[in-house]
Structure 1
Amino acid sequence: MGEETGRREGPRRALLRGGGAGAAAFVLAATAAVPGAATVAEDGDVSAEGVVRVGGLPRPAPLDREGAFNSDLAFTGDHAVGGNYDGFAVYDISDPTRPSVVSTVLCPGGQGDVSVSGDLLYFSVDYPRANDECGAPAVPATDPDGFEGVRIFDISDKANPRYVAAVRTDCGSHTNTLVPGTDGEHEYVYVSSYSPSERFPQCRPPHDKVAVIEVPLADPAAARVVAEPVLFPDGGAESTTGCHDITAYPERGIAAAACLGDGLLLDISDPVRPRVLDRVRDPNFAFWHSATFTDDARYVLFTDELGGGSGAVCTEGVGPERGANAIYALNGVGDRSELDFRSYYKLPRHQTETENCVAHNGSLIPVPGQDFFVQSWYQGGVSVIDLTDPDHPVEIGHFDRGPWDPQALRTAGSWSAYYYNGHVYSSDIRHGIDVLRLTDPRLEQAQGVVMDEFNPQSQPSFSGHQHHP
């Protein structure tokens, strides 16, 4: 989500607490679940084309209270990690038709963006807590001692995640992006955040930067902020007060940053010193939210989260160019690189006035030599898009539930929809996890791409992964 999250939070009851003031000493007792738990019921009417729901799970306790929204997903082996405003869950997806909950960790902090790297999990905290313990109560952003930033967990034992470090960052962490190091001994986490105020001691304007956390792989508890590169030395657009999300393409040495009023192309060949190669603005964009490169890096797709994710903007009255995707060609090389606008894509199925709907998180479907994309649209559901002609993108499949509440506009729907090893996994804010199978024959070759790990905001090159005929 974007604008609507703000920087405030009411009191929450924490069921699991850390063991002391030193983050490295924290050990969490995770809540195990019974394998093969019942799948979530299909509520309301469902519209689907080229997509079949084959499995799923409701939000597990204790991450199922009102306001504990499901958020992003990351994947490692036969497991998915699902972020939540109150913590995260680890799912066994070895049989996609019967996913099960391996463990849950209650560690409130808002947003809950996640990235995985081997045995490490990076978790974003965007609402201030009294300290860095998992059981710490919420505090206002005016508290000079409040904690926001990134928590690091060891998930080598999926049934018992262990809390190993906490790294404070200015304005917290709305999202995080994993970038591997060049020496094999370190990796880096780019932290995006925004909404500064003179009233917030840990989040003062101007906030035209990102934080770079360096993680020594041999000692992740020693992780620390090593750089805070300023991406907007001239201040950026009037609405730009930081970045919402960064998608890195490490094998290409580039990244795309969505920074509220600006879209950026970055050189990340030196991960500690990202450099701006090009900057674009669009009068139709209200909130530059996220980005995805095509596999050959010839194009990049930016999303506009008009209404901050809580608005009903997939209506006929809003039109086809606001709250949409914008596709840019990436031309030139190195310092001559530039982004050139090609087209918009907006969900073609109009939604009702009680359904929050706008372009949100998605990933490529790895069909060799072609560009297909699966994307969440909150209550607009999941859209499967053919981007092969970047001037004329078109929807070729979808999965769309009816409104969560036909009488009132309430936040619900698919937050993230990602393709991983043969299936699409949708993190639904309220329903839980949906597992979808794509039936369009044009997408069959994607099943031959096998990944050991997948963070959608740290794009792999599909040519580097196992391919089966």
Structure 2
Amino acid sequence: MGGHDLGSAAGQLTSGTHRVRDDGFLVLGHSDLGGGGLNADVWAHRKYAYVGVWSGTCPATGVKVADFHNLRHPRLVSVLQNDEGTSAEDVVVRRVHTPSFSGDVAVTGIQVCGDVDEPIFRGLQFFDVTDPRHPTELGRWEAPEFSVGCHEVDLVQRPDGQVLAGCANVFAEQINGTDEVVLVDATDPTEPTTAGGWAIGADLGIDPATTDENLGCFPASFNHSVRFVDQGMSVYGSYWDFGAVLLDIADPSAPVYVSRADVAPPDEDGDVHSVVRAGGTLLVNLEDFSPVEGCPEFNGWGEVHLFDVSAPAAPELLGTFSTPNSRSERDDGFYSVHNTEVAKGTQAFSSWYSDGIVWWDYADPTDPVQRGQFVPPGAPDPEGIFPPVPIVWGVYIDRDRNLVLASDINSGLWILRPVGLGNF
């Protein structure tokens, strides 16, 4: 559970033709990750890729770990296993050094697939992946009772040595009155503990269920994602219709509200899904599914909004970027942006569902331009939820090898190299 219900939206798609594209990219390798489908987000660390598993029919097949030392032939080598009845969509891996642990730690976000009152673990799982072929579970942080669990996650070691994990516990404030931006101290990953948290109701006095900020086809204010910045001294929460919220977490036990990047207006549907900050620019991904949710009046699919955040307390909108398909009402696929990462300078790469991976340049943030696009071939969904169309969920920038990794819900892992970009 997170933002849009992809499974329900899939039932609204019409049939169409999807052209495979590799404009501006070399396609170096591919793995179907065992062929089970329902692939979610992607991360990479030391020549191993980590790909999460979506909920859907809730197969609980775990985060797949693929060795891509050989770029042409990435191989599935292990799994970070989640419990039955849960999904593990998002994963982040970092090398950390603390008195309790030194090595590579993976954190996965665990959500319950069914009713929130089911007696199933949800929260964060921590794994030792120093040897990715033989991962071992280190510890767990359990979300408050009746929570959905951690949708998107992040992990950072701060200059003071503290290791913080971030959890977006979606709709928690409305379900059980608890925080939705959750900070977990994982300095000892065998015993993670709650460090602090934040929510718009408890901390700003704004009722997320009734605020006038709720608008569009999916009117809601909840935290969908977390992203650490400033070496873990600040964090962004992606608060759907309320906007991208910046918090000062110098003291994690007492987050301080700094500002929000509000996308409405000019956007009429909100849906702040996730963010990435590069220098003084904040890129805000809006996951708008209006064309397949019965809301044509909201004019197309989701796009990226760019903000000047050189003054963190006063973000200013600079411009937007979208693809031709996302500006349309096309309904034979999903044509919204999902996630975005910046490789170097102003070179951005976005996972754009049925538009694949989109490479774009925001050197002029008032008028960004598209530089390339990779759209994989459609593949059947073994679980029968999605049609055989490209549905690229995740994107990761591998600076060690100047690569872009993509995860497709149906077809798996793709390894790409942008042509002409040079070293990241």
| Structure-2-length-normalised TM-score | 0.79
Alignment match, 2:21: 47
User: 138, 141, 146: which is aligned to 1:164?
Assistant: 138
Contact 1:210/1:231 (8 A) holds in 2: no
2:137 aligned counterpart, secondary structure:
strand
The alpha carbon displacement at 1:258 in A equals 0.9
User: 294, 304, 307: which is aligned to 1:325?
Assistant: 304
The alpha carbon displacement at 1:274 in A equals 3.0
User: 158, 170, 174: which is aligned to 1:194?
Assistant: 170
> 1:373-393 deviations in whole A, cap 9, x for unaligned?
001011111100101111111
Q: 1:2 to 1:409 in 2, by over 3 A?
A: same
2:285 aligned counterpart, secondary structure:
strand
Q: 1:6 to 1:223 in 2, by over 3 A?
A: farther
The answer to whether 1:211 aligns with 2:189 is no
The alpha carbon displacement at 1:191 in A equals 0.7
CA distance in 1, matches of 2:173, 2:237: 22
User: 385, 393, 397: which is aligned to 1:419?
Assistant: 397
In structure 1, what residue type is equivalent to 2:69?
S
Q: 1:445 to 1:343 in 2, by over 3 A?
A: same
The answer to whether 1:273 aligns with 2:254 is yes
> Following superposition of structure 1 onto structure 2, how do residues 129-278 of structure 1 map, counting pairs within 5 Å?
140-143=115-118, 145-170=119-144, 171=147, 172-184=149-161, 186-196=162-172, 203-204=175-176, 206-207=177-178, 209-217=180-188, 220-232=189-201, 233-235=204-206, 237-238=213-214, 239-251=219-231, 253-262=233-242, 263-278=244-259
Q: 1:167 to 1:266 in 2, by over 3 A?
A: same
The alpha carbon displacement at 1:44 in A equals 6.7
2:289 aligned counterpart, secondary structure:
helix
CA distance in 2, matches of 1:116, 1:55: 22
1:157 aligned counterpart, secondary structure:
coil
Contact 2:245/2:257 (8 A) holds in 1: yes
Unpaired runs of 5+ residues, structure 2, are: 9-16, 55-59, 96-103
The alpha carbon displacement at 1:242 in A equals 3.0
2:150 aligned counterpart, secondary structure:
coil
Alignment match, 2:57: none
Unpaired runs of 5+ residues, structure 1, are: 9-42, 129-138, 447-469
The alpha carbon displacement at 1:153 in A equals 1.4
1:228 aligned counterpart, secondary structure:
strand
CA distance in 2, matches of 1:243, 1:212: 13
Contact 1:207/1:241 (8 A) holds in 2: no
1:243 aligned counterpart, secondary structure:
coil
User: 410, 429, 434: which is aligned to 2:414?
Assistant: 434
CA distance in 1, matches of 2:411, 2:194: 36
What's the Cα RMSD here?
A: 3.1
CA distance in 2, matches of 1:395, 1:414: 17
The alpha carbon displacement at 1:398 in A equals 0.3
CA distance in 1, matches of 2:125, 2:386: 33
1:174 aligned counterpart, secondary structure:
strand
User: 373, 380, 387: which is aligned to 2:362?
Assistant: 387
2:231 aligned counterpart, secondary structure:
helix
Contact 1:355/1:409 (8 A) holds in 2: no
Contact 2:168/2:223 (8 A) holds in 1: yes
User: 124, 127, 130: which is aligned to 2:112?
Assistant: 127
CA distance in 2, matches of 1:228, 1:244: 14
CA distance in 1, matches of 2:3, 2:169: 11
CA distance in 2, matches of 1:125, 1:403: 28
User: 32, 35, 40: which is aligned to 1:58?
Assistant: 32
> 1:42-97 deviations in whole A, cap 9, x for unaligned?
x9741221112111101326xx1xxx511112222121211113311111122322
Alignment match, 1:465: none
Contact 1:44/1:401 (8 A) holds in 2: no
The answer to whether 1:373 aligns with 2:348 is yes
The answer to whether 1:92 aligns with 2:61 is no
1:59 aligned counterpart, secondary structure:
coil
Alignment match, 2:82: 107
Alignment match, 1:303: 285
User: 290, 299, 317: which is aligned to 1:341?
Assistant: 317
Identity fraction in percent: 19
Q: How many residues get paired?
A: 372
| Structure-1-length-normalised TM-score | 0.72
The answer to whether 1:358 aligns with 2:336 is yes
CA distance in 1, matches of 2:7, 2:297: 31
Contact 2:307/2:317 (8 A) holds in 1: yes
CA distance in 2, matches of 1:112, 1:195: 17
